[in-house]
Amino acid sequence: MKITLPDNSLRELPAGSSGYDLAKDIGPGLAKSAVAISIDGVQKDLHDEIPGDATVSIITINSDEGIEIMRHTLTAQVLARAIKNLYPKSKLAIGPTIENGFYYDVETDDAISVDDLEKIEAEMKKIIKSKSSITKKLVDKSDALKVFKSKKETYKEIIINESDQKDNFQLYYQDNEEFVDLCRGPHLPSLNFIGSFKLTKVSGAYWKGDAKNNMLTRIYGTAWNNDKDLNNYLNSIEEAQKRDHRKLGKEMDLFHFQDEAPGMVFWHPYGWNIYKTLQNFIRNKLDKNGYQEINTPQVVDRKLWEASGHWDKYRENMFITEIDEEQANEKRVNALKPMNCPCHVQVYNQGLRSYKDLPIRYAEFGSCHRYEASGTMHGLMRVRGFTQDDGHIFCTEDQIESETALFINLLSEIYSDLGFNEFDIKLSTRPEIRIGSDKIWDKAESALENAIKKLNYPYKIDEGDGAFYGPKLDFVLTDAIGREWQCGTFQADFNLPDRLNAEYVGEKGDKHHPVMIHRAILGSFERFIGILIENYSGKMPFWLAPQQVVVASIVSEVNDYAKEVQKLLIEKGIRSEIDLRNEKISYKVREHSSKKVPIILAIGKNEKNDKTVSIRRIGSNDTEVVELNKALKTIITENSVKF
C-alpha cells in the first residue's frame, strides 16, 4: 500500500503495516523515538494498522504532541494505577491532560491530601521502573461493561453507558494485565518513554462539574521529557506564585474582594492611584490620536439588547433588572451593559453623517458587568464588574486598512511605554457560520493583512476563528516570566451598524452602513493592572507606582524639614507620603520597601543642615546624598516621561 508522508513523498509498505513499521522503514532512529502516529490528521497508537492511501506522520517523544501523549499515558496508566495500588477501594473517574500537565479524578474512602503526594509519586516511579509495554484491546459495549463492572469501577460504567458507541471501546493494559483503563488514547507504546514528573496539588471536583453529583478528589501533576525541563517549569510556577497579583495586592494594600459583591473590586487608595494614572495615560494617548471620549449609560432597556442581538446570544451572562414604571403602569426590563458597542452606535446615530465625517473614533472608559460563574473568577484577571478601554471606529470599507495601521502604531506605542516591547499578532479569518458576502470578507481580511504587512509585523493566521460579523486581530503580550496574555483586539463589524440603523450619506447622495471597528488596547483596566502587577512583581515603573516617594525622618528634630520636602513633592504632582514615626530608619526602609515604594528619601540632621536628601531606590542597598533642588528635578523628570 502507498502512504503519503507530510513532505508529500510516498512510501510503499505491505498491507496491514502499523505506524511502527512505517517508522522502522524510514529509519532506526525514528523508530526508536516514535510514540504514536497521525493518520489523516487523527492521532492513533503507534501499533495501529495504517489504512491504504492515507497521509501519515510519525509523532516522536520530543515533539509537543509526543509530550502531550506522554502526559496522557502518565495520568491514565501510571497515576491511576498507583492510586489503585495504594487505595484498592478507590474508583477511577476521568484523567485528562491540561496545559503543561494532567489530573485524575478519583473517589476514595480515605481522604487524599497534599501530604500523600510524595507517597503516590514513589508508587508511580516504582510502576515506571517496570518499563511495561502498553497494549490496546478493542471491545464492544457489553464486554467493556463486563470488565469495569467486575472491577466495581462505577464511573467507567457510567461513561460507557452514556456513550453512543456500540463497539470499538479502547481498553489499555500493561504487561501483567492486572490494570486496565478505558481511554480515548493514544498512549505511549511502553512506560520506558515516561520522562520527569511531579504531582503538584490536590483539590475537590464534582463529578461532571455538577454540584448535585459526588465530590471527587482531583490530583494534579506536571510532566516533561527530562529533569531540566521539569525544574525550569517548577521554578517558573514558583516565580509566578511570588508574583501573584492577589498576594501582592494585599501586601501593597491595593484592593480587595468580599462575598457581598462577588467579582467586584474594592479599590483602596493606592490601587486607585494606579488605576487613575493608567487611565489618564491612555486618555492622553487617545486625545492625541483623534478619539472623542464619550460616556454612555450602564443600565439600558432590553429593547436595545434585542435589537443588537445580545439578548438572544448573551442574555445568560447579563445582569437583568426590573422596575415598575409608574406612568406606563408596566414593568420595564433593563440590563446592566455587558459591553459598550450598542450604546456607541446610539451616539453615532444622533444626527446625519456624511462620508466626509468619517472616520469617527469614539472612546469610552466604559463600566461593564458580565455574569461569570463563581468558580471561574480569579482576582483581577476575571471579574464580574470591569472597565474597558473601549473604542469604536465608524469608517468606510476603504478606510479599514489605514485605520488598522493607525491602531497598531498606537497600540505598539502604548505597550512599549508600559514595558512590553514585543507582542504577537493573530489574524482570525472568516468562520463557517458568518454574515456578509464573501466579497466584503475578502476586502476586510485583505485590509487587515495588508496593514500588518506594511508595518512589517510578523503575524499568524487563525483560519476560521473570526467573529461571525467580521475578521479580527488579537494582540498577545509576553510577560517577564514568559507567560502570554491576549489583551488588545481589533474587530471589523459589518453586522451591528445594519441591525441598529447606523448610516452615512455617500459621495453620490445614497445611504450606506459604515463599518464598525471594535478595538481595545488594554482590554479591561482590572485585568491589565493584574498583568502589570505580576509582570513587575509589584515594582511598578516610577510614573505608575501607587506611592512614588516616602519622606522618612531619622530623628524627630528634622520633622519640619521632612514636611517641607514632602510639600514640595506634592506641589509637583508626586504621589508622596511622610513617615515621622519614632522608629529606626532601617525599620522604615524595610517596611516601605515591602510595599514596593520606588524612592525613599531619608532625612537626618546632616540633610537638614545641608539642604540635601539621602535617596534610596528600591532594589538597591546604596544611598545617594543629593542637593534638594537637584533631587526634586530628577524625580519630576522621571514622573513626566510618559505624559
Catalytic residue among 218, 243, 344, 472: 472
Cell matching residue 239: 516565580
Q: Does residue 174 carry a catalytic annotation?
A: no
Amino acid residing at 527: R
Distance CA 309, CA 303 (A): 10
- Separation CA 205–CA 213 (nearest Å): 10
Which cell is 353 given?
453623517
φ and ψ at residue 370, rounded to 5 degrees: -135, 140
H or E element in which residue 288 lies: helix 269-288
Compute φ and ψ for 453, nearest 5 degrees. Answer: -60, -45
Question: What is the length of the chain?
Answer: 643
Is 341 tagged catalytic?
yes
Residue 498 makes CB contacts below 8 A (sequence gap 6+) with 513
382 catalytic residue (yes or no): no
Q: Taking the CB of residue 444, how many other CB atoms lie within 10 A of it?
A: 27
Alpha-carbon gap, residue 15 to 137, rounded angstroms: 21
CA dist 182 and 159 (Å) reads 9
* Cα angle 218, 221, 226; round to 5: 165
Among the listed residues 91, 392, 592, 596, the single catalytic one is: 392
Catalytic residue among 77, 170, 174, 388: 388
Cell 474582594 -> residue: 257
167 among known catalytic residues: no
Angle at 586 between CA 584 and CA 589, to 5 degrees: 115
Contacts of 453 (CB under 8 A, 6+ apart): none
φ, ψ of residue 182 to 5 degrees: the values are -90, 125
Which residue in 71, 170, 285, 341 is the catalytic one? 341
> Does 392 participate in catalysis according to the annotation?
yes
359 cis-preceded (ω within 30 degrees of 0): yes
Query: Which residues does residue 255 pair with via DSSP β-bridges, in sequence order?
Result: 267
Sequence-distant (≥ 6) Cβ neighbours of residue 474 within 8 angstroms: 425, 426, 428, 486, 488, 489
Phi, psi at residue 226, to the nearest 5°? -155, 170
The alpha carbon of residue 260 and the mean position of all alpha carbons in its chain are separated, in whole angstroms, by 26
DSSP H helices in 93-140: 117-129
Sign of CA dihedral 230, 231, 235, 238: positive
User: Which candidate in 187, 361, 384, 518 is catalytic?
Assistant: 518
Contact between 622 and 628 (Cβ < 8 Å) = no
| Choice among 218, 245, 285, 370 that is catalytic | 370
**Measuring CA to CA, how many Å separate 289 from each of 151, 294, 358?**
68, 15, 14
Report how far residue 333's alpha carbon sits from residue 469's, in angstroms, rounded to the nearest whole number. 27
Side chain identity, residue 539? K
Rounded CA gap, 223 and 101, in Å?
Answer: 6
Confirm whether 170 is a catalytic residue.
no
- The catalytic position among 390, 474, 493, 579 is 390
Query: Would you state the cell numbers that stand for residue 106, as one nine-digit string?
Result: 478519583
Q: Is 370 a catalytic residue?
A: yes
> By C-alpha distance, which of 520, 431, 537 is closest to 483?
537
Q: Are 383 and 526 in contact (CB under 8 A)?
A: yes
Residues with Cβ < 8 Å from 279, sequence gap 6 or more?
Answer: 365, 389, 525
Distance set, CA 82 to CA 109, 197, 399, 414, 520 (Å):
16, 14, 62, 51, 49
Positions annotated as catalytic residues are: 341, 370, 388, 390, 392, 472, 518
